[in-house]
Amino acid sequence: MKIIIGSDHAGYRLKQEIKKFLLENKFKVLDTGTDNLDSCDYPEYGFKAAQAVSLKKVNRGILICGTGIGMSMVANKLPGIRAALCHNIKGARLSREHNDSNILVLGAKFTSRDLAVRITRAWLKTKFSGGRHRRRLKKLAAIEKIL
């Protein structure tokens, strides 16, 4: 599975830890940056990653900023993106089972390295359950077409 990952300066350290976890577990990883702790603007990095998911150049994405809110807002502007800001393992699982989320968003100020890895692992392992949830995703897609 090919994963794209991006962060702003506030999420940089956690991004590096998640990237290390992904590589150790044999995922193909593309990194959109940022590459340091210098202050930067989250939309630049969130857009690059979300665009790759939207265009199906990668299977899924992971975005990290200080709170996760900004990255969520950016990612969910793009067609076909279902970015989920997850603060715990259960939320990560449900975002996949019920919403078929294709981008995981983490808030570095609220999520420890260990918890972030556990959230990421659960999110990657969980499959979309389909059923009634597929009907709801079709409704989301219809709304997207109107906009």
For residue 144, pLDDT beyond 90? no
| Catalytic residue (one of 9, 65, 86, 87) | 65
Q: pLDDT at position 143, please?
A: 87
Count of Cβ atoms closer than 10 Å to residue 95 Cβ: 25
Q: pLDDT at position 51, please?
A: 98
Is 86 catalytic? The answer is no
pTM of the model: 0.95
For residue 147, pLDDT beyond 80? no
Give the Å distances, CA to CA, from 145 to 84, 88, 98, 137.
20, 31, 21, 13
Residues 6+ apart with CB under 8 A from 115: 88, 89
For residue 36, pLDDT beyond 80? yes
CA atoms of 132 and 59, how far apart (whole Å): 23
**Residue pLDDT, tens place only, 3-14:** 999 999 999 999
Average pLDDT, the chain: 96
Three-class DSSP category at 31: strand
Is 40 catalytic? The answer is no
Q: How does residue 85 score in pLDDT terms, banded at 50, 70 and 90? A: very high
- ∠ CA 6-92-82 to the nearest 5 degrees? 60
